[in-house]
A and B are shown apart, each in its own frame.
Chain A
């Protein structure tokens, strides 16, 4: 029997707002409040507020913290100054992606990892398997709530609930983190997100999450709307961000997933020998973006074909609300990965032309 899904500290607010709740990675989460398309468009045009408290947070401390992270992460943490962050990966010995995450260098020699909700236990076990005695790994997921505020007016809204006498929110650079009291709630404010929009992900104590959520939604004059995981998924797919367990997994490497730019080679870390080889010799398959030419929607699991032969499988797909076309990600042999290549996707028995396109699918007009 499946265990009862867990609830975030904001659960009652979602129900009160009329959200459609679904089980996601063992958590009861809002998939939408009013509708996926409407929330998607609100985030692109104004701002959306997301409860992402299901995500995991680990704090790594101790004199061995850096030693552990140098071995466990595919990015070079020595490139980070205090207050900076990197997108990174935990890899297995074959270079496969155990999880993708963001690593933050906090003050006082504390490192913070934000990981996928469904991988918390696996990631913890993996980090502990390095048996690094001088590094302490503390899972603070249960005590920590996380709220994402994303969209072009996010910074303007944040300025209203931001402490005076500190640099304005819009001066924050992408992939940095600061500690601020936001709407009266002591928080870690990270300039990161999963939507392709400017915005922040704010972490605070679980028992203060309601105050932070209410404090942001009280600024409705900016046009902020509560947004669910449905819009979060279409937003991330439009900008080509992968979803672990779908587009990337322990059997795919960052190089195959076209995420090599986030990996810093020339160092020794778990899986680095495989990545070194792939970087030098190339890979057999690569994750590409596919745009369906006709009006049809690719879905996870649909076959990708060329010349009538199956060459791959869609790993994520949707109708893009911004470009009104079916879009998807999938792995294809390297020879078919060039943008402009026309392949076919078998959409419930009908072959539809699909063009390999450079990611992201959607880019804001300057």
Chain B
């Protein structure tokens, strides 16, 4: 079942509908409720490789629904430390739990302070 619309206050957001959760110098990336809703049922996640680089505002992979393909954009720069294999196996997790089980990748950040430049939940919702 698709999740209900929400934008957790403890996350930071990129205007291209991506979220980031920072813990120490590592961050988790995913797409927002709005992004998964616009995409529809996600059927395929093409992840980056662990150890590879992601650049802020750059595409690090793609999500596909039955009807469309969408690049996923990195809110911050860093090195990929993990990909969510559960989403590769069961892409619908992105629809069911976009902020929890549906996370996409973990990244060791180049610059933790850069997160301060991202949107908070209220500012992100104002863009929708």
Contact = CB atoms under 8 A, between A and B. Distances in A.
Interface of A: 20, 31-32, 35-37, 230, 234, 295-297, 299, 318-319, 321, 348
A36 B67 contact: yes
A32 B39 CA distance: 12
B45 to A, nearest CB: 10
A347 to B, nearest CB: 9
A35 B40 contact: yes
Contacts of A234: 66
Nearest to B41: A35
A319 B44 contact: yes
B2 to A, nearest CB: 8
Interface string B53-75: 00000000010111101000000
Given A36-B40, A297-B43, A318 B66 contact: yes
A345 to B, nearest CB: 13
B64 A20 contact: no
Contacts of A319: 43-44, 64, 66
B67 A37 contact: no
A296 B45 CA distance: 9
A348 B66 contact: no
Contacts of B44: 295-297, 319
B43 A31 contact: no
Interface residues of B, number: 12
B43 to A, nearest CB: 5
14 contacts: A20-B40, A31-B67, A35-B2, A35-B41, A36-B40, A230-B40, A234-B66, A295-B44, A296-B46, A299-B69, A319-B43, A319-B44, A321-B66, A348-B69
B41 A36 contact: yes
A319 B67 CA distance: 9
Contact of A37 (B62, B64, B66): B66
A167 B56 CA distance: 67
Contacts of A37: 41, 43, 66
Contacts of A35: 2, 40-41
Interface in B31-47: 40-41, 43-44, 46
B66 A230 contact: yes
Given A31-B40, A296-B44, A296-B46, 5 more contacts: A36-B41, A36-B65, A299-B69, A319-B44, A319-B66
A330 B2 CA distance: 33
Contacts of B62: 348
A230 B64 contact: no
A234 B40 CA distance: 14
Interface string B69-86: 100000000000000000
Contacts of B64: 297, 319
Nearest to B68: A299
